[in-house]
A = this chain, B = another copy of it.
Amino acid sequence: MTASTPGIRLRHALEVLRERSPLVQCLTNTVVQQITADVLLAVRAAPAMVDHPREAPVFAGVADALLVNIGTVTPGQVEAMPAAARAAGEAGAPWVLDPVAVGSLPVRTPLAHELLALGPTAVRANASEIAALAGEGAGGRGVDATDSVEAVLRAGRDLARRSGAVVAVSGERDAIISADRTTVLTSGDALMPRVIGTGCSLGAVCAAVLGATRGSDLTAHDAVLAAHALLGAAGTVAARSAQGVGSFAVAWLDALDTLTPEDVVTLVGIQEDPETAGVMA
């Protein structure tokens, strides 16, 4: 199959991101706040990390989009995150859940399920986190990170159907899964997971593209795919000049700043309906 239609929609989503400069509120972990803000600025979005429990829901009512990342959850965030998610929902603003390390840890695991029940626009995670969210929802049927790609895709589709969210599974290849559509993206470089915050920033950029494209003819699936493609394409470019993880991170930010939407389209591989086509087998 040709990727022309997805390619055109991808380029369009990235053009809209650059034009609209969405204001993205991030309730995120303390490890990655700086790089998340720098990535949002690089892609022309405006970051705001307003996370006090009394301020977060107020701000969520005016921001264009919201990221909720539970990586270093605090007692204050346990209160602020559901409140902000509800406020975003009431304002009609898209919001993204990144359920970092959900599974058995006793604070974040029930929090992630509480947040999921509030109806995120998208869930971005790695395979084991998606499996943990989907597995418990399906009555404890375990799907773990060592399972096959097919099992992960099945868990992602279960989660997408049950929650109504676009589910993005990050890995060597990324899978973007909606109730009725699955897209596999080939992009990026092996150095990306070796720089802290590349995954967490991806959640923020998903929120940014969702916020920018809200009200357009692009779907949430298109927006989440565009965010993954942009960050992956920048990784491919950065790897060409990197001398190691330090210079890779710098070159990645430069590429996020300077790559055009057309550049991104040429740097990634997009495959729709991979199960039919046997791509993930």
Q: Which residues of A contact B (CB under 8 A)?
A: 29-35, 37-38, 41-42, 47-52, 54-55, 58-59, 71-76, 101, 104-108, 194-197, 242-247, 249-258
| Distance to closest chain B CB from A200 (angstroms) | 11
**A250 to B243 CA separation, bound complex (whole angstroms):** 10
Contact B196 A55 (CB under 8 A): no
Contact B49 A31 (CB under 8 A): yes
A33 surroundings in chain B (CB, below 8 A): 30-31, 34
**A257 to B194 CA separation, bound complex (whole angstroms):** 10
| Distance to closest chain B CB from A105 (angstroms) | 5
| Distance to closest chain B CB from A173 (angstroms) | 21
Contact B246 A254 (CB under 8 A): yes
Contact A49 B30 (CB under 8 A): yes
A37 surroundings in chain B (CB, below 8 A): 31, 196-197
**A242 to B253 CA separation, bound complex (whole angstroms):** 11
**A206 to B30 CA separation, bound complex (whole angstroms):** 22
Q: Which of B49, B75, B242, B256 contacts A72 (CB 8 A)?
A: B49
Chain B's closest residue to A72 (CB) is B49
| Distance to closest chain B CB from A219 (angstroms) | 29
Q: Which of B108, B197, B246 contacts A42 (CB 8 A)?
A: B246
| Distance to closest chain B CB from A79 (angstroms) | 11
Chain B's closest residue to A59 (CB) is B105
Contact A55 B105 (CB under 8 A): yes
Chain B's closest residue to A255 (CB) is B244
A253 surroundings in chain B (CB, below 8 A): 244-247, 249
- Shortest 7 CB-CB distances between A and B: which pairs? A246-B253, A244-B254, A244-B257, A37-B196, A246-B250, A31-B33, A246-B254
Chain B's closest residue to A238 (CB) is B246
List 28 A-B residue pairs with CB atoms under 8 Å apart, sorted by A's residue number. Answer: A29-B49, A30-B33, A30-B49, A31-B37, A32-B34, A34-B196, A34-B197, A37-B197, A38-B195, A41-B195, A48-B101, A49-B71, A50-B101, A52-B73, A52-B74, A52-B75, A52-B108, A55-B73, A55-B106, A55-B108, A58-B105, A58-B106, A243-B258, A244-B254, A244-B257, A247-B250, A247-B253, A249-B253
Q: Tell which of A35, A42, A52, A197 has the most Cβ of chain B within 10 Å.
A: A52
A32 surroundings in chain B (CB, below 8 A): 34
Chain B's closest residue to A29 (CB) is B49
Q: Which of B30, B106, B194 contacts A54 (CB 8 A)?
A: B106
**A244 to B253 CA separation, bound complex (whole angstroms):** 7
**A256 to B249 CA separation, bound complex (whole angstroms):** 14
